[in-house]
Amino acid sequence: DGGITQSPKYLFRKEGQNVTLSCEQNLNHDAMYWYRQDPGQGLRLIYYSQIVNDFQKGDIAEGYSVSREKKESFPLTVTSAQKNPTAFYLCASSIVPRLAEPRSYEQYFGPGTRLTVT
């Protein structure tokens, strides 16, 4: 799991509540990512950020929000608007992806947070 920490490991919430998942890295990486993992669907990109105070939507951003106030931190908020929030959430980081630098596409993952909403 390298230098990326996610907390908590397990999280339980009632439907209708917002919840924030923590992701911290000490790898000095500029880029950070949030993925959602569901059985049989692989990883789907929620949001990513390549620099502080900037982030972009991924493939399934609806119902989620992020912030990037510090290089080391990229918290994800699962809002009550997310219709099916129960899932395993993975945070990752990398150096900033550049076409001329293929190794920049190698991502380092945290241990994940399993969110259950009832």
Partner 1 sequence: AQSVAQPEDQVNVAEGNPLTVKCTYSVSGNPYLFWYVQYPNRGLQFLLKYITGDNLVKGSYGFEAEFNKSQTSFHLKKPSALVSDSALYFCAVRDSSGSARQLTFGSGTQLTVLP
Residue pair 15/115 in contact by the 8 Å Cβ criterion:
no
Tokens representing residue 86 in the block: 């129960």
Alpha-carbon distance of 1 to 24, in angstroms, equals: 12
| Residue closer to partner 1 (CB basis): 48 or 82 | 48
Binding map of partner 1 across residues 43-82, x = CB under 8 A, - = no contact: x-x--x-------x-x------------------------
Quick check: 86 binds partner 1 (CB under 8 A)?
Answer: no
Q: Where are the beta strands (DSSP E) in the chain?
A: 4-7, 10-13, 19-25, 31-38, 42-51, 54-57, 64-66, 76-78, 87-94, 108-109, 113-117
Q: Taking a C-beta distance cutoff of 8 angstroms, is the pair 93, 4 a contact?
A: yes
118 lies in the binding site for partner 1 (CB under 8 A): no
Establish if 13 lies at the interface with partner 1 (CB under 8 A). Answer: no
* Choice between 76 and 90, CB closer to partner 1: 90
Q: Which residue among 4, 46, 76, 115 contacts partner 1 (CB under 8 A)?
A: 4
State the residues that interact with partner 1 by CB under 8 A.
1, 4, 6, 9, 33, 35, 40-43, 45, 48, 56, 58, 88, 90, 92, 97, 99, 102-103, 105-112, 114
